[in-house]
Structure 1
Amino acid sequence: MRSINRRRFLQSTALAAIHAQSANAQQDDCPQQTELSGSSANMSKLGFSEETFSNDAYSHFVYSKGQGPAVIVMHELPGMDMHAVRFANRLVEHGFTVHMPLLFGDPLVSSPNLNYVRLCINKEFAYLKSNTSAPVCDWVRAFANHLGQSGTGRNIGVIGMCVTGAFAIPVIIDSKVRTVIISQPAIPLSMTYYLTKKGEGSWMEKLNIADEDLDKAVGTVKQENLHVVVQRFKEDRLCPPQRVQRIADVFGENASCYEYDRPRPEADKPHAILTVEYDKADCSPENPTRVALARVVSFLHENLNAQ
């Protein structure tokens, strides 16, 4: 038990260092963004409405904004911080209604190390075990069906990123979800590999969802001719290439797989394509983060507006 706790402590400490390195990077040629401290009131100031949705034993606040096809955005390990909010706002600007569940942490607060420790002992997130579908996936699926039944989301897209990346896959089973974006799925992770690029193994293609649910999702996607996107940075060591390749292979012709170059010269081992790295990159349309967002937006419009 002591060795497990020590390993989790070291992993959380390293993750905090990764996040701090990204947060300290400079934005080039991009307008400065407003920073607000964490609270639901400040989410309201940013134009988001708040509701609580419960399913079985679990309840979460959901922050919504925009008009157009519904897109559920599952935030990354740092939490629903300003990087996640800016990404949501970009989707709103492109004509979507964004629904962002507060899955863990506090709104507008970034706590990657504390969140990692919490999730490792959290039953709702299946303790971040590989080959295990977490109950939170059922909650997101139930929320998607709630949107569909309420008439606010006839066709729904889901975006999972980082720790929630693979969670988007089982959500598509028996739900109103028509398409998913699986962005840099990072669990399971190896800090040894991240720091040294040593320690390759079978963990690199594993997912934090059950193989059975992966097979069911593939069956749903192929039977209903749905489509998924999976993406990562080429130099991302938290999301190894074997993992996204496995996802692309099992979904076959129904999947689009993209790997991107580093978005900044100083971005060593970049990870968060649509959030942190987007905010820190230059604003040229050729930047990999801008190309990735354009593809995501186009993909969502094509698969949600056309049905």
Structure 2
Amino acid sequence: MTSTRARHDDPRDDPLDDFEHRTVSIQDVSKRVYVTGAGPAVVLMPEMPGISPDVARLARWIREAGFSVYLPSLFGVDGAYPLADEARAVVRRACVSAEFRAFAGGGTSPVTAWLRGLARTAHAERGGPGVGAVGLCFTGNFALTMALEPAVIAPVVNHPSLPLDDPAALELSAQDAAAVAGRVRRDGLKVLAYRFDDDTWCTGRRFAAYRALLGDAFDGRVLPGETARTDPPPFFRDVVGCAHSVVTAHLVDQDGHPTRRARDEILAFLTERLSPPTATTTAAG
């Protein structure tokens, strides 16, 4: 599935001009990736309908916390403010794309193999103990699947919405689910996750499925839906229709607000997992 650059005809669009615009080719598949920052790498995947200004804002927060951010363009119009009608068309195309498995029974989305390759590339370029992977909405579960790549050591699963037609299922093949669970147990990984309590796209049944697979390694945190931003962009107001995007479209950027605390917890998780070992720790080891 292809995406395009920002339209630049809506003042609410984000030109993404503080990012390096790259074309990254992995196994003969090329995608645009926006790169910024320094330090250990974090692959931040966009939510529907693409790299919105709110997703770019999250990327900048991750950058400011001391990380390199690799933001791949997977669908939609890069930098575009999420309008309802245009976004509906993006969702429809993604649901029938060969890269994604939007419905139950489809198994793991093929695009995750490319994303694992991006994580390897980012780790080789930026070093450090490993790479973080942050998924959002349509790409939420991709952060977990990316843990099949040994370089990924800090997966964050935000309001995972796939499969769209089964709230109790996970967007994973049985083989990949077993492999991910084995990696989590073997390497002591933790998986951080967020959703709102009244999110109809990511319900408690989905979090229960994660916990059944991962046990105590799954740290699923639930925020009251009443705390979500009440004036999100049109796509989230008219199409999503509920509190959903904890650290992007429904975040309230105020000190002490639950959604901003969630953002800070994610940044702290990435810092804990991706910080190079100190000299004292190394000597003790």
| TM class, shorter-length | 0.7 to 0.9
Question: Which residue of 1 is the match for residue 273 of structure 2?
Answer: 303
Deviation at 1:269, TM superposition (A): 2.6
Distance 1:43 1:265 in 2: 24
Q: 2:75 aligns with which of 97, 104, 124?
A: 104
| Moved segments of 4+, more than 6 Å | none
Distance 1:296 1:205 in 2: 24
Distance 1:265 1:290 in 2: 11
The answer on whether the counterparts of 2:103 and 2:164 sit within 8 Å (CA) in structure 1 is: no
**Counterpart AA for 1:141:** R
Question: Which residue of 1 is the match for residue 280 of structure 2?
Answer: none
Distance 1:242 1:252 in 2: 15
> Where do residues 195-274 of structure 1 align in structure 2 (5 Å cutoff)?
203-262=166-225, 263-264=227-228, 266=230, 269-274=242-247
Deviation at 1:35, TM superposition (A): 4.9
**Counterpart AA for 2:260:** R
Instruction: Report the TM-score when normalising by structure 1.
Output: 0.77
Pairwise CA RMSD: 2.1
**Counterpart AA for 2:158:** S
Question: Which residue of 2 is the match for residue 167 of structure 1?
Answer: 142
Distance 2:68 2:24 in 1: 17
Deviation at 1:151, TM superposition (A): 4.1
Q: 2:119 aligns with which of 144, 152, 155?
A: 144
More deviation in 73-82 or 103-112? 103-112
Question: Which residue of 1 is the match for residue 264 of structure 2?
Answer: 294
The answer on whether the counterparts of 1:72 and 1:157 sit within 8 Å (CA) in structure 2 is: yes
The answer on whether the counterparts of 2:51 and 2:77 sit within 8 Å (CA) in structure 1 is: yes
Distance 2:229 2:77 in 1: 32
Distance 2:149 2:35 in 1: 23
SS in structure 2 at match of 1:172 = helix
Deviation at 1:152, TM superposition (A): 4.4
**Counterpart AA for 1:51:** R
Q: Which has the higher helix share?
A: 1
Residues 5-46 of structure 1, C-alpha deviation per residue, up to 9 Å, x if partnerless? xxxxxxxxxxxxxxxxxxxxxxxxxxxxx95546xxx322xx
TM-aligned CA distance change 1:148 to 1:77, over 3 Å: same
In structure 1, the gaps of 5 or more residues are 1-33, 191-202
Q: 1:130 aligns with which of 100, 104, 109?
A: 104
**Counterpart AA for 2:196:** F
Instruction: Report the TM-score when normalising by structure 2.
Output: 0.82
> Are residues 1:74 and 2:45 paired?
yes
Equivalent pairs counted in the alignment come to 253
Distance 2:90 2:68 in 1: 27
The answer on whether the counterparts of 2:40 and 2:123 sit within 8 Å (CA) in structure 1 is: no
SS in structure 1 at match of 2:16 = helix
Question: Which residue of 2 is the match for residue 86 of structure 1?
Answer: 57
Question: Which residue of 2 is the match for residue 276 of structure 1?
Answer: 249
Q: 1:155 aligns with which of 106, 121, 130?
A: 130
Deviation at 1:98, TM superposition (A): 1.0
Distance 1:123 1:99 in 2: 23
**Counterpart AA for 1:121:** V
**Counterpart AA for 2:115:** V
TM-aligned CA distance change 1:36 to 1:67, over 3 Å: farther
Distance 2:69 2:136 in 1: 15
> Are residues 1:52 and 2:23 paired?
yes
TM-aligned CA distance change 1:151 to 1:299, over 3 Å: closer
SS in structure 1 at match of 2:250 = helix
**Identity rate of aligned residues, in percent?**
27
Residues 158-180 of structure 1, C-alpha deviation per residue, up to 9 Å, x if partnerless? 00110001111121113310110
In structure 2, the gaps of 5 or more residues are 1-9, 232-240, 278-285
